[in-house]
């Protein structure tokens, strides 16, 4: 069973969706508010933890997420790239080529970029920390102004 909760953040309302295995999606700009479930099942527990950790991130108290993630919606290559991306430290950036090397695909910078474009868990899988080799921002599914804002938030901008 999937459930969704929303939180308010400095970048707007964020929707978090989870199932019994973990967090499956984070979306910016959620239109309607959904409260965190009070149920005591695994899905509700994952949502409460994710909401709490995202609030801590925006309060400047969290630099690393410790959440169960369900990445089963991606291909095996995408999952490998997302796991590598999740290892990029807070406040640091890596180029698409560096991320490709971290994901054991040293010539796959372009494919890594496409994989990042399909990332369902921004912030937790910090695709905003991946930039072009020349130092320019590259792409971001939610727009470059938000990518710039997140990098500035972390002191990397």
Q: Tens-of-pLDDT digits for all 157 residues of the chain?
A: 899 999 999 999 999 999 999 999 999 998 888 887 778 899 999 999 999 999 999 999 999 999 999 999 999 999 999 999 999 999 999 999 999 999 999 899 999 999 999 999 999 999 999 999 999 999 998 999 999 999 999 998 6
pTM over cut 0.85: yes
CATH architecture under which domain 3-58 falls: 2-Layer Sandwich (3.30)
Residue-by-residue DSSP string for 76-128: HHHHHHHHHHTTSPTT--EEHHHHHHHTT-TT-HHHHHHHHHT-S-TTTS-GG
Cite the active site residues.
Answer: 127
Domain coordinates in residue numbering, the chain: 3-58, 76-153
pLDDT at 157: 63
Task: Output the pLDDT for position 34.
Answer: 83
Decide if domain 76-153 falls under CATH 3.80.30.20: no
Q: Same fold for the domain at 3-58 and the one at 76-153?
A: no
List, in sequence order, every residue forming a beta bridge with 19; answer none if it has no partner. Answer: 22
Q: Give the helix/strand (H/E) hosting 111.
A: helix 109-117
* Tokens representing residue 75 in the block: 């291909």
pLDDT the model gives residue 36: 74
Three-state DSSP class for 56? Answer: helix
């Amino acid at each position: 069973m999937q459930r969704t909760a929303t939180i308010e953040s400095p970048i707007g309302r964020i929707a978090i969706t989870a199932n019994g295995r973990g967090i499956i999606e984070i979306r910016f700009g959620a239109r309607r508010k959904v409260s965190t479930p009070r149920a005591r099942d695994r899905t509700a527990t994952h949502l409460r933890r994710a909401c709490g950790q995202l609030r801590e991130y925006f309060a400047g108290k969290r630099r690393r997420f410790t959440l169960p993630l369900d990445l089963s919606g991606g291909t095996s290559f995408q999952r490998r790239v997302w796991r590598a991306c999740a290892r990029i430290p807070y406040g640091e950036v890596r180029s698409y080529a560096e991320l490709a090397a971290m994901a054991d695909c040293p010539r796959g910078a372009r494919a890594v970029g496409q994989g990042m474009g399909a990332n369902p868990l921004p912030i937790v899988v910090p695709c905003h920390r991946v930039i072009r080799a020349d130092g320019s921002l590259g792409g971001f599914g939610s727009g470059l102004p938000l990518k710039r804002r997140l990098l500035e938030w972390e002191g990397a901008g």
